[in-house]
Amino acid sequence: MLELIDVHARIGDTPILKGVTLTIPKGEVHAIMGPNASGKSTLSKVITGHPDYVVTSGDIRFEGESILELEVEERAHLGIFMSFQHPVEIPGVATSVFLKAAVNAVRTARGEEELDAAGFLRSAKKNMKVVDLPKTLLHRSLNEGFSGGEKKRNEIFQMAMLEPKLAVLDEPDSGLDVDALRIVAEGVNHLRSPERAVMVITHYQRLLEYLIPDKTHVFVDGRIVKTGGPELAHEVENRGYQWVRDELGAAARVGA
Amino acid sequence: MGRRDLTHVDRYAAAAAPDRSDAVQRLTTYGFPGFKDEDWYYTPTRRLLSEPFVPVVGTPRPPEVELPEGERLVFVDGLFDEGHSSAALAHQRMAVAPGDAGTLLAEPLGFDALNAALWRDGANLQLTGPRAPIHLVHVATGDSRLGVVRHRIHVAAGIEATVVEHHLGRAGEKSGRALTSDVVEITLDEGATLHHILVQEAHAEATVVHTVLVRTGAQASYQGTSVQLGGSLARAELRVELAGEHARTDLAGLALGTGSEHIDHHVLIDHAVPNGTSTQSFRSILDGTARSVFTGKVVVREGAMGTDSDQSNRNLLLSDDAIANTRPQLEIYADDVKCAHGATIGKLDDDALFYLRQRGLSPKQARGLLVEAFAGEVVATITDPSVREAVTARVAHHVLATVEAQR
């Protein structure tokens, strides 16, 4: 579904990704764990096509085709969804108005018929239940005045509405208490499917107790330095990122 | 009581026509405002006045525009158009000039003097009972025509009313240079409320100078919303005197300018007595080399204790060459008052655009949604649902045209 091939990227003059190679087949959930400022959020921006980030070498392929030349919305139309670490507050734009426009933009791009108001509402009500959001939220301005938990759940709700093939979840757990975390994780679990790939970026192992990944990648200084199964998350949690760095250092010395 | 009985017809006799020589003299002596006039500093009139405008008399031209639904009085180039006006309202006009007795326009200068010298017709709304919104519709047909109207609105004690003023122009090739001078004098009795909505979309070559003069009684409320959708030069002056205690005024304005359009909101709120409340919320959205000016002057007179005044001006620039001028002016001669003001100028939020595009919206859709939302907070101040819906649709139309025209 998603392949990153030796991707280097920078923002301004600062190189952030320094050769990332990663494949996520459909049906799998991959966790990206890394310390702060390791570049793991940049990974999500580069996959979704954020205009501030420049891919300087390497390739990103989605379903076998390079997407580097595609605009943000074109990638979204292909079925790439990102849940934001900090969902943007947009005063004056009702959640329902925004989301209906988004759902229909994606449907139109896929050659499907647009949803009418009733169809949209039916689908919205069903999907809001998945993350335990009240219907009234549809009438409120997008993310404005939402609690941290509501914002994160709203992201997963949008994912459910847009039915992406690839979901990139950028720290869906940050700022959440354990109850809210469980709701978000269960929401994502509900959306796991053999046709869908998920990349979940997190700082902590806590989320991965509820959202068990097929693979775990440890991300340090702009690269994936270690890949393993779900147990790797526990090891990182217990031993800290310094352990990975030390191991890397030792390997580098041996290599030299 | 029948509907007709709810309003009081007030027609002025020809004998009461005022001596206009004073206004004419003031106009010829002092002329039109120029860049040396503080109140017109950012709104140059020289280009506007470099070619003459022609006052019109006789039969009005056909409007040839879509007129708003509802009870209405229609004025084409300043001339009353009986055929397109509601019969029930046709008599509520100042068909012949009233005396200057009770006028709020004392010692007029510039465009006000032009209005005082040349106005021939206008509405005279005596609102003494509840009724549906009344629409005053102005159409400018181009060909350098000068339309001059004067309205009076009086709302009786305890009554709540809605008056919508529209400034329209013919579309497309039929549009053209035109100047409309519209002066409205509003008096609110004790406890009266007027919702006054101005919707100006005369078109890119039209000039509209709109002056609204308000005097409120005690506990009265003037709710003004000015929606200025383009114009070669559009100026809305809102001068509100809170002359009775515990009166309030809430003013909101939107300026949407593209190309080289120029839109000017000029506010003067006079807290003449204690315990008045005033709020101002003005926004502009500018593309191309368009310019907006907002002047918000609040005067708190000696002894006007307990005054509460708030002002905000937010400007959204869609291009590098658009200009927004903002000028808060506070003159406070009383103690124990609260006066706050704030202004911002910015562009569309890149993070918001990325968020919307990530969800599949095109850049134009995303910009349209954000611009409409920014404008929407002004339109939301309109309380009458049918009027709000109609204005929302007009704003959306202009926002879409603006966003579509962007590269």
Residue B11: pLDDT above 60? Answer: no
Cα angle B119, B120, B123; round to 5: 95
B171-202 pLDDT per residue, tens: 766 668 999 999 999 999 999 999 999 999 98
A165-190 pLDDT per residue, tens: 999 999 998 888 888 899 999 999 99
By Cβ distance, the residue of B359, B372, B376 closest to A102 is B359
Cα torsion A235, A238, A241, A247: sign: negative
Q: Six-digit token pair at B48?
A: 């506007």
Give all strands (DSSP E) within B170-276, no chain letters.
178-188, 193-201, 206-216, 221-229, 233-242, 248-257, 262-271
Q: Which chain A residues are closer than 8 Å to B373 by Cβ? A: 90-93, 141
The gap between the terminal CA atoms of chain A, to the nearest Å, is: 36
- Find the domain containing A64 and state its range: 2-92+165-255
The gap between the terminal CA atoms of chain B, to the nearest Å, is: 58
What's residue B7's pLDDT? 26
A220 Cα to chain B: minimum distance (Å): 26
Nearest to A58 by CA among A227, A223, A244: A223
Chain B residues 367-396 with CB within 8 Å of chain A: 369-370, 372-374, 376-377
B354 touches A: beta carbon within 8 Å: yes
Q: What is the mean pLDDT of residues A193-210?
A: 91
| Burial (Cβ within 10 Å: 0-12, 13-18, ≥19) of residue A253 | exposed
- Structure confidence at residue A212 as a pLDDT band (50, 70, 90): very high
- Structure confidence at residue B32 as a pLDDT band (50, 70, 90): confident
The predicted model scores a pTM of 0.89
Q: Which chain B residues are closer than 8 Å to A84 by Cβ? A: 355, 358
**Exposure b/e, A218-244, CB count within 10 A at least 16 = b:** bbbebbbbbeeebebbebbeeeebeeb
Asked if B359 and A109 come within 8 Å (Cβ–Cβ), the reply is: no
B344 touches A: beta carbon within 8 Å: no
Q: What is the largest CA-CA distance in chain A?
A: 66
Q: With beta carbons less than 8 A apart as the criterion, state whether B239 and B210 touch.
A: no
Strand A2-11 and strand A14-24: the pairing is antiparallel
Cα-to-chain-centroid distance, residue B259: 21
Residue B68: pLDDT above 90? Answer: yes
A165 touches B: beta carbon within 8 Å: no
What's residue A254's pLDDT? 63
Q: Six-digit token pair at B264?
A: 């000017």
Cα-to-chain-centroid distance, residue B172: 24
Nearest to B224 by CA among B261, B199, B256, B255: B199
What's residue A106's pLDDT? 95
- Structure confidence at residue A229 as a pLDDT band (50, 70, 90): very high
Q: Six-digit token pair at B291?
A: 């310019």
Q: What is the C-alpha separation between B265 and B284, in angstroms, rounded? A: 10
Q: Six-digit token pair at B105?
A: 């326009």
What's residue B2's pLDDT? 28
Q: Which residue of A has its CA nearest to B364?
A: A73
Asked if A109 and B374 come within 8 Å (Cβ–Cβ), the reply is: no
Note the helical H segments in B255-384: 350-358, 363-379
Q: With beta carbons less than 8 A apart as the criterion, state whether B304 and B277 touch.
A: no
Q: With beta carbons less than 8 A apart as the criterion, state whether A182 and A123 touch.
A: no
Place of tokens 């009581």: B1
The Cβ of residue B317 has, within 10 Å, a number of other Cβ atoms equal to 19
Asked if B352 and A90 come within 8 Å (Cβ–Cβ), the reply is: yes
Least confident stretch, A56-65, A125-134, B38-47, B341-350? B38-47
Residue B15: pLDDT above 70? Answer: no
Return the axis-axis angle of helices A95-109 and A117-130, rounded to nearest 10°. 110
Cα torsion B148, B164, B86, B397: sign: positive
Residue B9: pLDDT above 80? Answer: no
For position A204, which CATH number holds? Answer: 3.40.50.300
Asked if B357 and A71 come within 8 Å (Cβ–Cβ), the reply is: yes
Residue in B285, B350, B356, B378 to test binding to A, most A beta-carbons within 10 Å: B356
Higher pLDDT, A22 or B8: A22
What's residue B365's pLDDT? 95
Q: Which chain A residues are closer than 8 Å to B360 by Cβ? A: 73, 76-77, 102-103, 105-106, 109, 162
Q: Which chain A residues are closer than 8 Å to B355 by Cβ? A: 84, 87-88, 90
Q: What is the mean pLDDT of chain B?
A: 89
Of all residues in chain A, the percent with pLDDT exceeding 70 is: 97
Q: What is the C-alpha separation between B219 and B62, in angstroms, rounded? A: 42
A71-106 pLDDT per residue, tens: 999 999 999 999 999 999 999 999 999 999 999 999
Q: Is B78 helix (H, G, I), strand (E, B) or coil?
A: coil
What's residue B91's pLDDT? 77
User: Is A113 within the bounds of a domain?
Assistant: no
Q: What is the mean pLDDT of residues B108-117?
A: 89
Q: With beta carbons less than 8 A apart as the criterion, state whether B392 and B376 touch.
A: yes
A82 touches B: beta carbon within 8 Å: yes
User: Is A131 within the bounds of a domain?
Assistant: no
Residue A230: pLDDT above 60? Answer: yes
What's residue B10's pLDDT? 28
Q: With beta carbons less than 8 A apart as the criterion, state whether A18 and A185 touch.
A: no
Length of chain A: 256
User: Is A144 within the bounds of a domain?
Assistant: no
Nearest to A193 by CA among A26, A62, A30: A26
Q: In Å, what is the CA distance from B40 to each residue of A175, B43, B148, B294, B387?
A: 52, 5, 20, 11, 31
> What's at A177, amino acid-wise?
D
Place of tokens 């926004």: B283
A67 touches B: beta carbon within 8 Å: no
Residue in A83, A90, A106, A146 to test binding to B, most B beta-carbons within 10 Å: A90
Give all strands (DSSP E) within B87-191, no chain letters.
124-127, 134-140, 145-155, 160-169, 178-188
Higher pLDDT, A87 or B102: A87
Least confident stretch, A134-148, B59-73, B163-177? B163-177
**Exposure b/e, B342-368, CB count within 10 A at least 16 = b:** ebebeebeeebbbbbbbbbbbeebbbb
What's residue A246's pLDDT? 80
Q: What is the mean pLDDT of chain A?
A: 92
Q: With beta carbons less than 8 A apart as the criterion, state whether A66 and A78 touch.
A: no
- Structure confidence at residue B386 as a pLDDT band (50, 70, 90): very high
Residue A116: pLDDT above 90? Answer: yes
Residue B178's region, left for phi above 0, alpha for psi from -120 to 50, else beta, is beta
Q: Six-digit token pair at A212?
A: 């068990």
Give all strands (DSSP E) within chain A, no chain letters.
2-11, 14-24, 29-33, 53-62, 65-66, 80-83, 90-94, 141-142, 166-170, 197-202, 215-220, 223-228
Q: Six-digit token pair at B377?
A: 């907070």
Q: Compute the 3-state secondary structure of chain A and give helix, strand, coil in percent, each to the nearest 5.
A: 45, 30, 30
User: Is A75 within the bounds of a domain?
Assistant: yes
Give all strands (DSSP E) within B64-112, no chain letters.
71-76, 79-80
Residue B407: pLDDT above 70? Answer: no
Least confident stretch, A160-174, B32-46, B251-265, B299-313? B32-46
Least confident stretch, B113-122, B154-163, B332-341? B113-122
What's residue B4's pLDDT? 28
The predicted complex's ipTM stands at: 0.95
Q: What is the mean pLDDT of residues B100-123?
A: 83
A51 Cα to chain B: minimum distance (Å): 8
| Burial (Cβ within 10 Å: 0-12, 13-18, ≥19) of residue A69 | exposed
Number of domains in chain A: 1
B64 touches A: beta carbon within 8 Å: no
Q: Six-digit token pair at A230?
A: 């779900």
Q: Six-digit token pair at B303?
A: 């002894």
B356 touches A: beta carbon within 8 Å: yes
User: Is A223 within the bounds of a domain?
Assistant: yes
B122-142 pLDDT per residue, tens: 999 999 998 899 999 999 999
B322-379 pLDDT per residue, tens: 999 999 999 999 999 999 999 999 999 999 999 999 999 999 999 999 999 999 999 9
DSSP at B92: S
What's residue B52's pLDDT? 85
Cα torsion A182, A188, A194, A197: sign: negative
Asked if A76 and B351 come within 8 Å (Cβ–Cβ), the reply is: no
Q: Is B93 helix (H, G, I), strand (E, B) or coil?
A: strand
**Residues forming beta bridges with residue B198, ordered by sequence position:** B165, B226
- Structure confidence at residue B3 as a pLDDT band (50, 70, 90): very low
Length of chain B: 407
Q: What is the C-alpha separation between B136 and B122, in angstroms, rounded? A: 9
By Cβ distance, the residue of A76, A92, A109 closest to B358 is A76
Nearest to B140 by CA among B217, B70, B194, B210: B210
A108 Cα to chain B: minimum distance (Å): 10
Q: What is the C-alpha separation between B194 and B189, in angstroms, rounded? A: 10
Q: Six-digit token pair at A5?
A: 């091939």
Q: With beta carbons less than 8 A apart as the criterion, state whether A11 and A42 touch.
A: yes
What's residue B95's pLDDT? 58
